Homo-oligomer: A and B are copies of this chain.
Amino acid sequence: METSVYVGTSLDGFLARKDGDIEWLEQFADEDAMRSYEEFMNKIDAIVIGRGTYEKVLTFPTWPYNKEVFVLSTSIKKVPDTLKSKASMLSGRPVEILNFLSGKGFSRIYLDGGKVIQSFLTEDLVDELIIATVPILIGSGIPLFGILKNDLQFNLIRTESFSNGLVRSYYKRERDPNRNMTGH
């Protein structure tokens, strides 16, 4: 079981404006960014999003995900009939969600949306962070990160930067530094 986050953020750490607007971010969605995101998505077998992301995505002209989607919500109980083969609703704590998905045979989980990401980070249940930072400060909005119980140390795997100003960094959670140090 591996959980991944792949997000675009402003330089001040926001995923979207308060009203969900991401126009400032979309100007950086060039061919390279799309290819990188597709490569990532090809390795994923299920997607977990929150209600906010779900409602945003419903306003898109087409359903953007090509893997099975699980929407975390306590208020919405079912998806429209047209989405029945693509998405289903779930509720529960992050560890319960992962146990459920594991039981269904999923092993590479993509977490999306500020609240979902924060709730899994709080439980130290995020294994991979891929963060594409765009060179703009927007001042306020929906934050990527939130309060934690403990510090979480990551390993930087690699960083890529692009002429449009986007910097993409790949991190893996460093869960047991002693094991890494003696593992060579």
Contacts and interface: CB of A to CB of B under 8 A. Distances in A.
Interface of A: 11-13, 24, 121, 129, 131, 133, 135-140, 144-156, 158-159, 161, 165-167, 169, 171
Contact of A159 (B121, B151, B167): B167
A24 B151 CA distance: 9
Contact of A11 (B12, B24, B159, B171): B171
Nearest to A27: B153
A4 to B, nearest CB: 15
A14 B153 CA distance: 14
Contacts of A155: 135, 165
24 contacts: A11-B171, A12-B13, A13-B145, A24-B151, A121-B137, A133-B169, A135-B153, A136-B152, A136-B153, A137-B145, A137-B151, A137-B152, A137-B154, A138-B148, A138-B151, A139-B147, A139-B148, A139-B149, A139-B150, A154-B165, A156-B167, A159-B167, A161-B169, A165-B171
A151 to B, nearest CB: 5
Contact of A165 (B150, B152, B156): B156
A159 B161 contact: yes
Contacts of A145: 11-13, 137, 139
A13 B138 CA distance: 14
Nearest to A139: B148
Nearest to A129: B11
Contacts of A137: 121, 145, 148, 151-152, 154
Given A121-B137, A165-B171, 16 more contacts: A24-B151, A135-B153, A136-B151, A136-B154, A137-B148, A137-B152, A137-B154, A138-B148, A139-B148, A139-B149, A140-B148, A154-B165, A155-B165, A156-B166, A158-B161, A167-B169
